[in-house]
Amino acid sequence: MRYISTRGGMAPAPFSDILLGGLAPDGGLTIPDAYPTLAPGELSGWRGLSYPELAFAILRKFADDLPADDLRALMDKTYTAAIFRSEAITPLTPLADGVWLLGLSNGPTLAFKDIAMQLLGNLFEYTLLKTGGHLNIFGATSGDTGSSAEYAMRGKRNIRVFMLSPHRKMSRFQTAQMFSLQDPNIFNLAVRGVFDDCQDLVKAVSQDADFKARYAIGTVNSINWARVAAQIVYYFKGWLAVTARDDQEVSFAVPSGNFGNICAGYIAKRMGLPIRRLILATNENNVLDEFFRTGVYRVRPTDQVAQTSSPSMDISKASNFERFIFDAAGRDPAVVRELWRQVDARGFFDLSGSAAFHAVRASGFVSGASTHQNRMDTIRRIHQDSGIVIDTHTADGVKVGLEHREDGVPLLCLETALPAKFEESIVEALGRPPERPTGYENIEALPQRFEVMDADVAAMKNYIARHAG
Ligand SMILES: *Cc1c(COP(=O)(O)O)cnc(C)c1O
């Protein structure tokens, strides 16, 4: 398999070459030159596999330049009951007749991002040990991603993480989760300012190409291809868990922000997994719901992004969306370049009435959005009916999923975080805090390790220069 860019300006490259990268050199996103498809009988042959075995069977199709034994060892090391708190890795819980919760949030930071990020940590370390290189990961976080990256990279050889967060602006739980890490390769930098100040600092440092090259600065944001690939696995796992026949269709409801999670579901479908509907759910920040209803993709200025009670879905644009549009546009990079030129010039493109939007409609996507009130109502209703407490992001997915449910088609709602991460919202919905998983009871009392800094580019570069690997 070779990887190409959605903008057409990159020489085809194997998996190992694109693994550590963010954007392709031409500003596009990397994508396989053709999706692998399932051989006859292959799916039924996967019915008895454990999670790491299934992950190996799927990922070897995408990472076909890594030695099979090495890849298998990486899967065995990543997907363990010690890290994900059950052999199932992604356990299934019934919510109602024909409706299930697919638990993706049992990794170290209690959100689905751990499933891909934990693998990324091991893949990065493996690759760097082979090439003799090293990497300084530099990023900004308002909570979920940075924490997941730190837990994936802690203690990894040849990798250091410099993570900026807005000083005193994260929840106590999130702050404790990140700052309690004592690993010497993790640097928590609390910036006096807001999240946008942190992001501006990352941008400013990344635009200095010399500095970036000299200190081997990299990122782990959601456009990383390996993260998307790792997420394909649990669509198969969920499908295998609720079906007995190989042609049985299942629908998935996915709480969405940057389109990384549901992009993986779309690729699973393209590979031949019998997925009927991909039900995309947004919160009040409905960039993607608007597109799937109307064909208009309109990014929002950052000051128009609402701060909601499902904060990990508060996005102004969907960074993985270009991969999907590349396919809808018949894989013509000239069309993709033109569409994103329009986004840059006037903030939107409009595919309504086009052949591309016809392809979008045919691809199985439906969508919907929810409000704070919808989330509160959904959390209450699910708790009343099943005794299960879901978090606010998962509630967005369940709400929209149930609206698009069809008789006789199993519906799998992806659980993207545990309620313990969003205690205040659960108290608001249910009048009491959610249970915390074992080991997290007193996380706020642990000693914290972080450095407070000004939002100053020169000071930031100086800090990295002194602490880089
Ligand atoms: C990141 C995140 C999402 C959104 O996922 P995308 O891949 O960006 O669409 C949803 N829920 C939670 C809890 C998240 O952390």
Out of 114, 308, 416, mutate this one to test ligand 1's pocket (max ligand atoms within 8 Å of CB): namely 416
The binding-site residues of ligand 1, defined as CB within 6 angstroms of any ligand atom, are 111, 113, 144, 222, 255-261, 312-313, 393, 416-417
Task: Give tens-digit pLDDT for 9-50.
Answer: 999 999 999 998 888 889 999 999 999 999 999 999 999 999
CB of 429 closer than 8 Å to CB of 119: no
Looking at residue 360, what is its pLDDT? 94
* Contact yes or no for 235/51 (Cβ under 8 A): no
pLDDT of residue 220: 84
Q: What is the pLDDT of residue 196?
A: 81
Ligand 1 centroid to Cα of residue 253, in Å, is: 13
pLDDT band at 266, cuts 50/70/90? Answer: very high
Strand 92-96 to 275-282 pairing: unpaired
Average pLDDT score over the chain: 95
Share of the chain above pLDDT 70, in %: 100
Question: Which residue has a Cα nearest atom 2 of ligand 1?
Answer: 312
Does pLDDT of 371 surpass 80?
yes
Beta-carbon count within 10 A of 411 CB = 23
What confidence score (pLDDT) does residue 194 get? 83
Closest-CA residue, ligand 1 atom 15, reads 312
CA of 45 to the centre of ligand 1 (A): 31
CA-wise closest residue to 139 among 113, 115, 157 = 113
Q: In the prediction, which pLDDT does 155 show? A: 97
pLDDT tens column, 278-330 = 999 999 999 999 999 999 999 998 889 898 999 999 988 998 999 999 999 99
The pTM of the full predicted model, rounded to 2 decimals, is: 0.96
How many whole angstroms from 90 Cα to the centroid of ligand 1?
16
Distance 41 CA to ligand 1 centre (A): 33
Angle, CA 419 vertex, CA 418 and CA 421 arms, to 5°: 80
pLDDT(143) > 80 = no
For the cut 90, the answer to whether the pLDDT of residue 393 exceeds it is yes
pLDDT for 240 equals 98
How far does the centroid of ligand 1 lie from the alpha carbon of residue 417, in Å?
9
Domain 92-110+231-430 fold is: Rossmann fold (3.40.50)
Buried b (16+ CB within 10 A) or exposed e, 119-141: bbbbbbbbbbeeeeebbbbbbbb
Phi–psi pair at 250, nearest 5 degrees: -135, 145
Q: How many CB atoms lie within 10 A of CB 1?
A: 15
Mean pLDDT across 235-259? 97
Name the closest-CA residue to atom 1, ligand 1. 312
Whether 113 is catalytic? yes
Is residue 427 over pLDDT 90?
Answer: yes
- Give residue-wise pLDDT tens across range 432-453: 999 999 999 999 999 999 999 9
- Mutate which of 101, 262, 313, 391 for ligand 1? The one with the most ligand atoms within 8 Å of its CB, which is 313
Dist CA 371 CA 144 (whole Å): 21
Q: Residue 453: CB partners within 8 Å, gap ≥ 6?
A: 189, 190, 191, 192, 459, 460, 463
> Tell me: the pLDDT tens digits for 408-420?
999 999 999 999 9
CA of 171 relative to ligand 1 center, distance in Å? 17
Most confident of the following: 167-176, 190-199, 368-377: 368-377
CA of 23 to the centre of ligand 1 (A): 19
Q: Beta strands 451-454 and 348-350: pairing type?
A: unpaired
**Tokens linked to 408:** 């006789």
Tell me, in angstroms, the distance from the centre of ligand 1 to residue 318's CA.
11
Closest atom of ligand 1 to 421 CA is 13
Q: Which atom of ligand 1 is nearest to the CA of 319?
A: 8
Q: What angle do CA 75, 78, 80 make, to 5 degrees?
A: 105
For the stretch 57-69, pLDDT in tens is 999 999 999 999 9
User: The tokens of 457 are what?
Assistant: 């580019």
Written in H, E and C, the secondary structure of the chain is: CCEEECCCCCCCECHHHHCCCCCCCCCCCEEECCCCCCCCCHHHHCCCCCHHHHHHHHHHHHCCCCCHHHHHHHHHHHCCHHHHCCCCCCCEEEEECCEEEEECCCCCCCECHHHHHHHHHHHHHHHHHHHCCCEEEEEECCCHHHHHHHHHHCCCCCEEEEEEEECCCCCHHHHHHHHCCCCCCEEEEEEECCHHHHHHHHHHHHHCHHHHHHCCEECCCCCCHHHHHHHHHHHHHHHHHHCCCCCCCEEEEEECCCCHHHHHHHHHHHHCCCEEEEEEEECCCCHHHHHHHHCEEECCCHHHCCCCCCHHHCCCCCCCHHHHHHHHCCCCHHHHHHHHHHHHHHCEEECCCCHHHHHHHHCCEEEEECCHHHHHHHHHHHHHHHCCCCCHHHHHHHHHHHHCCCCCCCEEEEECECHHHHHHHHHHHHCCCCCCCCCCCCHHHCCCCCEEEECCHHHHHHHHHHHCC
Mean pLDDT of 162-166: 94
Which of 77, 113, 169, 237 is flagged as catalytic?
Answer: 113
Compute, in angstroms, the gap from residue 117 CA to the centroid of ligand 1.
13
In the chain, the N- to C-terminal Cα span, in Å, equals: 32
Q: How far apart are CA 259 and CA 324, in angstroms?
A: 9
Q: What is the pLDDT of residues 44-92, one digit of tens each?
A: 999 999 999 999 999 999 999 999 999 999 999 999 999 999 999 999 9
Q: Which residues pair with 411 in a beta bridge?
A: 99, 251
Under 8 Å between Cβ of 159 and 152: no
The model's pLDDT over 87-113, given as tens digits with 9 standing for 90+, comes to 999 999 999 999 999 999 999 999 999
